[in-house]
Chains A and B, each alone.
Chain A
Amino acid sequence: MQRQGIDALVLAGTGNVHYATGATWLTSDAGRAICEPAIAIVTPHGQPHLFTPYPEGIPADLEPGRRHGPLAPEFPEGVAELAAVLTDLLGNTSLRVGFDELSAAAHEHLPRLLPKMTIVNAGEVLAPAKLCKTADELECIRRAQRINELAMYDVHSALRPGVRQCDLTGIFLDRIFELGATGNGIDPIWQATPLAIADGPFSVNGDLPFPIPSTDRILRQGELVIVDSGIKYEGYCSDFGRTWLVGEDVASARQRDHFKRWCDVMSRVLEIVRPGTTGLELNRAACKGENDRRPWLDHFYLIHGLGTESAEPPFIGTDLGEDYDESVVLSPGMVLVLEPVIWDDGHGGYRSEELVAVTDTGYRWLSQFPYAPFDTDGRWRW
C-alpha cells in the first residue's frame, strides 16, 4: 500500500478477504456470498477491520476493536453505511482507496457520498503481495492438495462403466469434508472427452472445449475422462487434474505415447524452474519440438499461480502474449500449477496438473498422485 500510495483497501472478494484477515464463513454460491458478505477494510496501521455475519469465523487473535457486524454494500442502504464507516475510519479527506470489486450500488453512490475519495484498483496492491507465499501458506496449500488427492483415490476406484458424473461428485464431496476440507471450490469436473474436437460441442476458439460442467451423465466403457477439482483448506486452494479411462486397466500404446509426450513437456519445463527464470523461457521450453500446437489449452495457460484464489498470478502462456510472459520472473515462494495438454485430434490426448513451489535453488513438489492407467508400471517417478 505504501509503495502504491494507497491509503486503504476495501475488500469484498472472498479470496481477498481471507488473505487480509484469515476469517472463515459459510461457503456458498455467489448469490449468498454477496448478500451475506465478509468485508475487510485494511488501513496502514494495525490489524485489518473485519465486518462479518459469522462471529465464529473471526480469527482468535483479531482485536475486539477490529471486529464488526456485517456490511451489505449490495444495496444502496448498505453503501451509505459503508461510506459512514469509511469516513469514521479514514476521516473525510482526499484519499486513494483500493477496491477489489464494487457492487452496482457502490459504483453509483460511493463517488457521490465520498466526493474526496479516489477509487483505485486494489489488485495493484494484492497481486504483488499475494505472489510469493510464506512457509505457512505453502503448508495450507499442501494440506489442501493432500485432502483433494486422498479423496481422489476413492473416486478413481469407483470409476467404472455406468457410473454417473454426479456419483463421482458424491464420493468426492463426502470424502473431502471427512478429511478436513473447509470448503469445496469448484463443482468437480469429470469431462467425458470426445477423441476429436469436431465431435465435441462447438467452440469459438477451435481448441478442446474444457471445462464442461458435470451432470448425471453416464460414463461408458473406454471413455477418456478429464478430471479437474479444487477444494479449500483454511481459505487456501488445491488444484487436482488427471486424465482417466473408464473401465480400462491399461491405456493403449497411442494413449501411453500421449502421456509420455506430456511427461516430456513437464520435464523440459521443470528442468528450468528456479528463481530468475522468466515465463517466456518456460513457455518456450514447453513448446520446444511441439510443432503443431502449443502444448496447453489455447484459452487457458501453461502455468497459473494458486493461493486464496484457484487461479491467480503468475499466469504464463495466456493471450496476454510473450511480452507479458517475459515480465514474469520466478521467485522463491511462488506456487506454480503446470497444466500442459497433449492433443492428438481424432485420438484424444492427455492432461494432468501438478503443483510445485519455487525454492531458493529450484522447486519442490506440492502434489503427488499416480498416473494410472497411463504409466504402464504404475511407478512413474520424476
Chain B
Amino acid sequence: MVNTVPNLGVMALEDDGRVDFARLRRQRRQRVLDAMAERDFDVLILGREANARYATGARRLWMSGTRPFAPGCVLVHANGSVHLLNNWDEGIPTEIPRDHLFGLSWNPVTYVERLKGIPGLTSARRIGVDAMTPLWRQLLGLVAPAAELRDAQAMLLELRMRKSAEELRCIRTAVAIAEASLAAAIDALRPGIRERTLLGAFNRRMTAYGITAPSMEGTFCAIEPGPVGSRARVRRLTSDRHIDAGALVALSGGVLYAGYEGAVGRTWPCIGPGTGMAAVRAEHRDLRRRWTAVWNRVADRCRPGATGDDLRAAYEASGETLPPFPIAYSVGIGYEAPIAGSSLGPIFDRRWRLEPGMVLGVQAYVAGSAGGYFGLETVLITPDGHEVLSSLSHGPLLEAD
C-alpha cells in the first residue's frame, strides 16, 4: 500500500520510474498461476481483453465494445509459460519469449494446429476459459480431447479485485488524468454549447497526457427538469443537444493508464465562465446537499467486511431511489464487475465482501423536478476504512453553500 502522497505523472524519471511495471507484471502472473494451482486448472485459455492483459502485460490495440472470444492467450501451469496469438513483439513484455508468439490467422484449422503445438495443452485435463463461442466449443474439443472446459472468469475476477501497490499507483494516475480531462470539459461548458463538444474537450485533454483511449466515452448530458413533483431522469448517452443556460449537466468520464481505469463524475450548472454565484439556483444547491447525504451514507460503509448489499442498504436508507445503474463497481483493468445496485439484485450484491486493496467506482444520483445531481468517486478500501482517490471539486453548487 502506498502511504505517502505519490508524485503522479506519466513521464519516466531517472530516479523513479513511478510504477515498477516489471514487478507489476511478475506479481499479476504469479497470482494467476497460484490461483490455477488452487483451482486445479492445468491450462487457462483467455479471450477477454482484461484477463489477457492482467496475466501477460501485453499492450494491444484498443477497440471499443466486445471482442468475440478467440483463444488469444494460453497459460500452462506445469511450466508457467504464456503463449500469445500476436504477430509481433512490440507491446509484448520481454519475459514472453518470441517462440511463444503466434501469427494472426483467419483460418480455424491453422489456429487449432498452432494450439496443438503448445506443450501441455493437448494433454490437459481441466482447462479454464473466460468466455466461449459455439464454434470454439467444438474446436477446443479437437485441441484437448480429454479436457473439461470450465468457467475461470469468477476466479480471475476475484484475484483482479485485490490491487497491489503498483496497480494502485496506476489507478491513482488514471484518476488524476480523468479529473484533468473532466476539468477541460467543465472549462468548455457555457450556455448554448452542444453536449458532444464537451465529450471532445474531455478526449482532447486526455491525449495531452499521452493517453489515446478512454475507458468509456463518458456522459456529458444536460438533465432536463420536469413538472412539479416529478423526478428528472439522467441520460448517460451524450447527444447533439445544445445546453441551455441554467441547466444542470451530468459530466462523467474515464481514462486508461497502463490499462487501469480512473473515472470521476460531477454535475455542474451551465452558468458560463465568470458568472457569479448568484446564478446558482437554490433548488440545485439542495440537490447537491441530498447527493452529499447519500454519498456520506454509502462511503461510511466502504470498509473491509461490508458487502455490496450493505452499500445498497445504506443508499436506500438515505431515502433516495436507486438509480438505473450500479451504485458501486470494481475498478481495475477497466470495469471489473458490478458490486452493488445492479439489476442482479441484493442476493448478487451479497456475494461481494469488501477487502483492503479493492477499488470501487461509487456513483449516486438524486433528482427532483428542478433537475438532478450525479456524482462518481473512485474509492480505495483501506485496512480501516477507505480513501477517496478522486479529488475534483464539486464546483459552484458546493461553493455556494
Contact = CB atoms under 8 A, between A and B. Distances in A.
A202 B135 contact: no
Contacts of A209: 87-88, 90
Contact of B196 (A56, A57, A178): A178
Interface stretch (B65-73, B115-123, B274-282, B300-308): B65-73
B88 A29 contact: no
A189 interface: yes
Nearest to B108: A320
Given A72-B338, A177-B200, A187-B63, A29 B210 contact: no
Contact of A177 (B68, B199, B338, B342): B199
A216 interface: yes
A37 B65 CA distance: 9
Given A119-B137, A165-B212, A187-B213, A315 B106 contact: yes
Nearest to B211: A166
B153 A104 contact: yes
B203 interface: yes
Contacts of B326: 36
A99 B217 contact: no
B154 interface: yes
A13 B62 CA distance: 16
Interface of A: 12-15, 24-37, 53-57, 69-72, 74-78, 81, 98-109, 119-123, 164-167, 169-171, 173-175, 177-178, 180, 183-189, 200-205, 209, 211-216, 232, 299-301, 310, 315, 318-321
Contacts, number: 270
20 contacts: A14-B64, A27-B216, A29-B62, A31-B48, A57-B237, A75-B154, A75-B348, A76-B151, A103-B153, A120-B134, A169-B212, A170-B204, A173-B203, A175-B200, A177-B197, A177-B199, A177-B238, A178-B194, A202-B89, A204-B103
B316 interface: no
B337 A189 contact: no
B134 A122 contact: yes
A202 B335 contact: no
Nearest to A170: B207
Interface residues of B, number: 89
A29 B211 contact: no
Nearest to A111: B137
B175 interface: no
B66 A34 contact: yes
A29 B49 contact: yes
B157 to A, nearest CB: 9
